[in-house]
Amino acid sequence: MATAQSAYTSAQATPLAGVPESSRHSAIVRVTHWINALSFFGLVVSGFAILIAHPRFYWGETGGLGTPYVFELPLPYMKGGPSGWGRNLHFLVAWICVANGLVYALSGLVTRHFRRRLVTPNENYDVLQRMAYLSVIFGLLPFLTWTGFAMSPALTSLAPAFVTSLGGQQSARTLHFFAAIAIVVFFVGHLAMVYASGFRKQFLAMIFGKERA
């Protein structure tokens, strides 16, 4: 709850007079949101570049041409090209995404942002929205990181359970793909909600902090 003193100061300093403190996006939420948005595009594009070298999915430890598979995407096999820069970009962006995600998650816990906005009922988000955000932040994103780690032959030498608990290296790859699809679906839903509630207003709010113009 803002004190009278700080409400007076913010009315003087910013054009956000009259907007309750509780329904504005904090600076850390806004900064991490846009870094996350860029990371999302970087990871989807580079993930696709890796995938297209071998757009076929398996279950268990191993799989390749000539072995049983789960499903295949109707895409050409592009060998020896995009997967190179794709993997380089994927890991560069993954570092940024994970670091950014940790800053967001820690600050959200410390400032009680998660509790105020996503756990307890509030005027900003209904129960479905809160559940969607919570499951993406604490479920899907950690799962994507985990399934990514599970494909690393070096990291699984440190902790084999990373991959054995998922049923094998190829299972990890398939699950990583499904989780990525789920994130893309969430993104489409997120954009639809932003449109439905006024794209310009929400877009500016995520830049300047104001939710109700």
Partner 1 sequence: MSDVTSRRKLIRAGLGAAAGAAGLATAGHLISKYGMIPPDHYGPYGIGQTLTYAAHRILMPKQTLAREFDRSQISTIASVNGLPPATDDYKRMAADGFADWRLTVDGMVARPLTLSLTDLKSFPARSHITHQACEEGWSFIAESTGVLLSHILNLAGAHPRAKYVMFFSLPEKGSPLGKKWGSLDMEDAWHPQTLLAYGMNGQDLPLDHGAPLRVRVPRQLGFKSLKYLTRLTVTDTVKPYGKGWGSSSPERGFSWYGGI
Stretch that binds partner 1, among 61-69, 108-116, 121-129, 188-196 (CB under 8 A): 61-69
- Residue 107: strand, helix, or coil: helix
CA 153 to chain centre: 24
By CB under 8 A, tell whether 178 contacts partner 1. Answer: no
Quick check: helix, strand or coil at residue 24?
coil
Q: Extract the tokens encoding 69.
A: 């598979």
Would you count residue 53 as binding partner 1 (CB under 8 A)?
yes
Interface region with partner 1, contact rule CB under 8 A, candidates 8-16, 30-38, 131-139, 146-154 = 146-154
Q: Considering only residues 173, 175, 179, 180, which one is a binding residue for partner 1 as defined by CB under 8 A?
A: 173
Q: How far is the CB of 50 from partner 1 (least distance, A)?
A: 7
Specify the residue, 35 or 206, whose C-beta has the smaller distance to partner 1.
35
Whole-angstrom Cα distance, residue 186 to residue 52?
Answer: 22
| 185, containing H or E segment | helix 169-196
The packing angle between helices 127-135 and 169-196, to 10°, is 150
70 scored as a contact of partner 1 (CB under 8 A): no
Contact, 39 vs 100, CB < 8 A?
yes
Residue numbers at the binding site for partner 1 (CB under 8 A): 50-51, 53-54, 56, 58, 61-67, 79-81, 83-85, 87-89, 91-95, 151-158, 160, 163-164, 169-170, 173
